Amino acid sequence: MPGTSRDVVFVDGVRTPFGKAGDKGMYAQTRADDLVVRCIRELLARHPELPPEKVDEVAVAATTQTGDQGLTIGRTAALLAGLPKSVPGYAIDRMCAGAMTAVTTTASGIAFGAYDVVIAGGVEHMGHHPMGEGVDPNPRFLSEKIVDPAALVMGETAENLHDRFPHLTKDRADAYAVASQAKVQAAYEAGRIQRDLVSMATRHAEQGWGLATADEPPRPGTTLEGLSSLKTPFRPHGRITAGNAAGLNDGATACLLADAETAAELGLPVKMRLVSYGFKGVEPEVMGYGPVPATERALKLAGLTIDDIGLFEINEAFAVQVLSFLDFYGIKDDDPRVNPDGGAIALGHPLAASGVRLMTQLARHFEDHPEVRYGLTTMCIGIGMGGSVIWENPHHSDYGKGAAA
């Protein structure tokens, strides 16, 4: 019977190429559930050593759980992917950190002994389901001043971060955004990002069938001069633009997690070991600051300090949000440990799917950097939260030793 916690390992992760939301996007007439089903099927195809009946749970996140993202999408995606009917599934929501929460929730079940192998991921089709679609905020939020009115508009919360930290200027945010675009371009040219992707068939009534093999949002050749002329839609003479923020996107992610002993028994590879995680709330009107207290909690639980972290995957909802995190820890804007292959400003941010993208990229960086022992995946979350997960690199010479083990 379960009594002590078990090690949880990240076996593998995949994602679809991310598309631009809207009628002109490559997934305009592709179903959301088909996106995540493709990811699940790819995981099973990449790991024939895993008998499908050994999957104990499928957790799929979506922020807007209706239409082709509804109907308990974890269960329906499992069935559509061809998993045995005995494999259960569920839907989960924590806005931008949906997939991250699918991972931490099922990982907790593995550590407790309730599961041996799980699939966790997320999907968001913002073309079919715009952010905030169908929501009805309780009027008490504003009438009783529980939250600032800006809390419900993510772009305004980012403007508030600029206000709170005036030294985080628009020029710095634009420079960070240009660097993110350049890093993604370099990673594509080197063939690194392609390792994370699974091709996705698309269909359009007028354009016919297609095949998505690369992310649609990146803008190679982005310059500071080009960004300086963009409109600031959230505030006159503001600082947030379409160039220094993630766009509206469609896409899906999925990953395999397992108990370390089960992974060894089945011959599954180990790309990372989960060390700790933390979620914390902040003032909703500055939700972008959430990764700071969430990381502080994860570090405390792991018995580590920020100096122990050798690689960072930070979701780039807004450039200023990343800069506020780096500023708190005294990390330079262009530190090479941070988002080595770029981030959401260039790649896109399909809300509930993004957490596993961060993990998949970190796992790939671990393979390329055996000298790095610990890495961090972190993101801000709507309505004033942050989530952070610390991982250990199995390629490091001290893997599995010491206090954090």
Active site residues: 96, 349, 380
Pairwise CA distance, residues 349 & 91, whole Å: 19
Phi-psi region of 257 (alpha: psi -120 to 50; beta: other; left: phi over 0): beta
- Distance, in Å, from the CA atom of 386 to the CA atom of 95, rounded to the nearest integer, reads 11
Return the beta strands (E) in 170-221 as ranges. Answer: 200-204, 208-212
Distance (Å, rounded) from C-alpha 107 to C-alpha 104?
5
The residue among 134, 365, 137 whose CA lies nearest residue 376 is 365
Distance CA 354, CA 351 (A): 6
Long-range contacts of 298-302 (CB under 8 A, 24+ apart): 298/376, 298/388, 298/389, 298/390, 299/390, 301/276, 301/277, 302/275, 302/276, 302/374, 302/390, 302/404
CA separation for the pair 267, 311 (Å, rounded):
27
∠ CA 200-203-205, nearest 5°, is 170
| Plot region of 18 (φ>0 → left; ψ -120 to 50 → alpha; else → beta) | beta
